[in-house]
Amino acid sequence: MNRTESKARDDGGALLEVRGLTVTFGTPRGDVDVVRDLSFTVDRRQTLGIVGESGSGKSMTSLAVMGLLPKGATASGSIRLDGVEILGKSDAALRKLRGNSMAMVFQDPLSSLNPYYTVGLQITEAYRAHHNVSRKAARAVAIEALDRVRIKDPHLRIDHYPHQFSGGMRQRIMIAIALCCEPDLVIADEPTTALDVTVQAQILELMADLQAETGTGMIFITHDLAVVSQVAQDVVVMNGGVQVEAGSTEQIFSAPQHDYTRALLAAIPRLDDDLEELKMVGDFRTGATR
């Protein structure tokens, strides 16, 4: 794929600017905020890591940005993509943005791919949704997309079904689908969590290479602090729907300011250290001193 011209104006402004994002679920017992007053920015060529444990609101944040919140959830605040407010846009307008300007890579590639269709068809489907091209031209794009995510023999593999690929290969295909329209922003939600460590290392390397090639901005959502320390330039730590701490990756990992971040870092099982007892985040929650 020749990247002719970036769809986004590269005027130095932030690619994505989220201000005061609040996601609320209406329940019979009243409204519940699963994300409260969250603000962050993502620049081009940069990766923002969002880390948190389950229930911290990290995935809801990504769904709000994509305009994919489940029924019953409402978002308020401001989400500006390339200077344009996208919160509150119509479904049709959002559909035009999704895939084209922003794309998502999910955790489980097997449930995100349709088992009945060849991978080639699924890539071209994404491409043709935004480009008025012939099947043949789209197929050429799909072959190139597979080649770009380092799948061998792409002209043969394009006619294979998802089950004929390994877990790591399937995630490569998901990345190929996400990148085929050359989006400005990619949101990766736990993209390597379901993968073996050796495969995870390969996928992380691939994502870094592709980002260097295309200059996309990325939000990388994960519960794994070690992974985020390797991929992100900036990090937001979330707990219970709110931002606990934010800063450059180096800052967060070398001089965490908040007790929750510290407890989280102390709870990671280490390879280089014998801890008599792993420190517990629970100590922080109950207010006991460590």
Matching residue, tokens 């600017």: 17
Minimum distance between the CB of residue 167 and another protein, rounded to whole angstroms? 7
Minimum distance between the CB of residue 222 and another protein, rounded to whole angstroms? 10
* Residue 34 binds another protein (CB under 8 A): no
Number of amino acids touching another protein (CB under 8 A):
39
Per CB under 8 A, the list member of 3, 9, 155, 270 interacting with another protein is 270
206/131 Cα distance (integer angstroms): 26
Cα 168 from chain centroid (whole Å)? 17
* Residue 262 binds another protein (CB under 8 A): yes
Residue 269 burial (10 A CB sphere; 0-12, 13-18, 19+)? exposed
* Residue 256 binds another protein (CB under 8 A): yes
Residues 129-188 that bind another protein (CB under 8 A): 167
195/49 Cα distance (integer angstroms): 19
Closest to another protein by CB, 51 or 113: 51
166/143 Cα distance (integer angstroms): 18
One character per residue 185-214, x = contact with another protein (rule: CB under 8 A): -----------xxxxxx--x----------
Closest by CA position to 15, among listed 219, 265, 261, 177: 219
Closest by CA position to 246, among listed 45, 238, 254: 238
* Residue 233 binds another protein (CB under 8 A): no
**Strand partners for 245:** 237
- Binding range to another protein, per CB under 8 A, among 3-11, 106-114, 130-138, 257-265: 257-265
φ, ψ (nearest 5 deg) of residue 136:
-65, -45
* Residue 128 binds another protein (CB under 8 A): no
Minimum distance between the CB of residue 106 and another protein, rounded to whole angstroms? 18
List of E strands, 86-138: 102-105
- Binding range to another protein, per CB under 8 A, among 41-49, 99-107, 141-149, 260-268: 260-268
**Strand partners for 244:** none
Residues that bind another protein (CB under 8 A): 53-54, 167, 196-201, 204, 223-227, 229-230, 250, 253-256, 262-265, 267-272, 275, 277-282
